[in-house]
Amino acid sequence: IFAAVEMAPRDPILGLNEAFNADTRSEKVNLGVGVYYDDNGKIPLLGAVRAAEKARLEAQPPRGYQPIEGPAAYNGAVQNLLFGKDSALIANAQVVTVEALGGTGALKVGADYLKRLLPGATVYISDPSWENHRALFESAGFPVDTYAYYDAATRGVNFTGMKTSLEAAPAGSIIVLHACCHNPTGADLSDAQWNEVVDACRARGLVPFLDMAYQGFADGIDADAVAVRAFSASGLQFFVSSSFSKSFSLYGERVGALTIVTAGKDESARVLSQVKRVIRTNYSNPPIHGGAVVAAVLNSAELRQEWETELAGMRDRIRAMRTGLVDQLKAAGATQDFSFVAKQRGMFSYTGLSAAQVERLRAEFGIYAVSTGRICLAALNSKNIGYVAQAIAAVTKG
Ligand code: LMR
């Protein structure tokens, strides 16, 4: 039965890890996947996480099945983070949250549910977008199109183009929006532009699906929730996928959530019952550990404070790497102006490097980046930044 099976292409992001791990050069640097490393090149285990894990281990909790939607303590904590703890939506029971296997799992549960709800819809993703968005919504059975987003000339958002695209999308289309730290470009909308996107979604009857994988990596927990809060105030129904992979440095624990805002309590109960069917027929119920750790941190004033401080530390270090890279590129004699790197937000820089230049980085220097030219700034550190700057200057010269 497998004789005619073709080799599938390597994943454009996670596939880089495989190639990187197989590379024997000691100076190699992995700027591919979106993972935060500390200045020693290690994925940090946050102090707040360590404390919550220690308490869990000592309590020796039983390992029964979780509720299909995950525990209330976790889902409630997610809602507070997204909407603010005094949110009227939460008070009115208009918010349904289910724990999910990372942000990707949340997108997939949402996509599968949407396919049942709106089987004829088209999904629109930004041009460009995270590589997995298209693949994921296509695998859920949707046609996937794009809306204008990035302007390579200004290295910012082509907002006029974006609005024109949204205004042309058929009613009932699903619009996947990056709530903050746009992946891959690092170009975000302003607060005022978010309000215009809300208006466009309302006017066209579009279904917003906000993907929020980097809350806290641009300006802070509440500041980065501006898009979610703009939609919250709109009276619209919408979807949010969120993730603690980055913000809690819990990548492999697969901790995320799907949140759906409905018109009211009764609708919430019916929507939850349907989403539970999607989960039950997929992986039954979520694993315990990651969600329990996140809930313990977010529901303890002391640990939450510690986590926020650690998150700010990661945010600040990425910023320092941005300005550091700009300086080091100049020092390395780069002929291009890379000052835009310092203005982009989140973990990534959309460098403008061509696929051929990215390939030279890999072949000649052992530096791995996504072929679109996206690099992860959070993988830079005081030891490798000079080497990376010299390599980028070399492949972009002349
Ligand atoms: C990325 O974009 O590198 C991260 O979101 C990791 C992933 O799952 O692709």
* Distance (Å, whole) CA 383 – CA 39: 8
The pLDDT of residue 398 is: 65
Of 259, 239, 116, 247, the residue nearest 177 (C-alpha): 239
- From ligand 1's centre to the CA of 245, what distance in Å? 10
- From ligand 1's centre to the CA of 356, what distance in Å? 22
CATH number at residue 102: 3.40.640.10
In a domain, 52, yes or no: no
In a domain, 7, yes or no: no
In tens, the pLDDT along 130-164 reads 999 999 999 999 999 999 999 999 999 999 999 99
Same domain, 38 and 91: no
Confidence of residue 170 (pLDDT cuts 50, 70, 90): very high
23 an active-site residue?
A: no
Same domain, 127 and 245: yes
In tens, the pLDDT along 210-251 reads 999 999 999 999 999 999 999 999 999 999 999 999 999 999
The pLDDT of residue 251 is: 98
246 an active-site residue?
A: yes
- What is the average pLDDT value for the chain, to the nearest integer? 97
pLDDT at residue 331 tops 90: yes
Same domain, 75 and 103: yes
In tens, the pLDDT along 116-130 reads 999 999 999 999 999
- Choose the residue to mutate in 13, 30, 254, 374 for probing ligand 1, maximizing ligand atoms within 8 Å of C-beta: 13
Average pLDDT over residues 305-319: 98
The closest-lying atom of ligand 1 relative to the alpha carbon of residue 34 is: 3
- Choose the residue to mutate in 30, 101, 108, 130 for probing ligand 1, maximizing ligand atoms within 8 Å of C-beta: 130
Same domain, 243 and 163: yes
- From ligand 1's centre to the CA of 131, what distance in Å? 8
* Distance (Å, whole) CA 269 – CA 191: 32
Residue 94 DSSP one-character state: -
CA distances from 395 to 284, 330, 379 (A): 49, 14, 19
Same domain, 282 and 332: no
The closest-lying atom of ligand 1 relative to the alpha carbon of residue 184 is: 2
- From ligand 1's centre to the CA of 33, what distance in Å? 6
Q: Which one of 108, 112, 115, 130 is the catalytic residue?
A: 130
Convert 266-299 to b/e letters by CB count within 10 Å (16 or more is b): ebbeebbeebbebbeeeeebbbbbbbbbbbbbbe
Residues with CB under 6 A from ligand 1: 13, 33-34, 104, 130, 132, 183, 213
- From ligand 1's centre to the CA of 267, what distance in Å? 33
Average pLDDT over residues 68-94: 97
In tens, the pLDDT along 339-366 reads 999 999 999 999 999 999 999 999 999 9
The closest-lying atom of ligand 1 relative to the alpha carbon of residue 14 is: 9
CB 208 within 8 A of CB 238: yes
- Choose the residue to mutate in 16, 17, 33 for probing ligand 1, maximizing ligand atoms within 8 Å of C-beta: 33
Average pLDDT over residues 366-393: 97
Tell me the torsion sign for CA atoms 155, 157, 160, 165.
Answer: positive
276 an active-site residue?
A: no
Q: Which residue has the tokens 């599968």?
A: 112
Domain span holding position 131 = 65-287
The pLDDT of residue 124 is: 98
In a domain, 281, yes or no: yes
Average pLDDT over residues 192-219: 97
The pLDDT of residue 366 is: 97
In a domain, 53, yes or no: no
The residue whose CA is least distant from atom 1 of ligand 1 is 34
Same domain, 318 and 170: no
In a domain, 213, yes or no: yes
Average pLDDT over residues 359-387: 97
Same domain, 260 and 338: no
The pLDDT of residue 352 is: 94
Average pLDDT over residues 179-190: 97
* Number of domains, the chain: 2
Q: Which one of 211, 224, 276, 307 is the catalytic residue?
A: 211
Same domain, 266 and 222: yes
- From ligand 1's centre to the CA of 75, what distance in Å? 23
The domain boundary, picked from 256, 287, 318, lies at 287
Q: Which one of 108, 115, 246, 276 is the catalytic residue?
A: 246
CATH number at residue 334: 3.90.1150.10
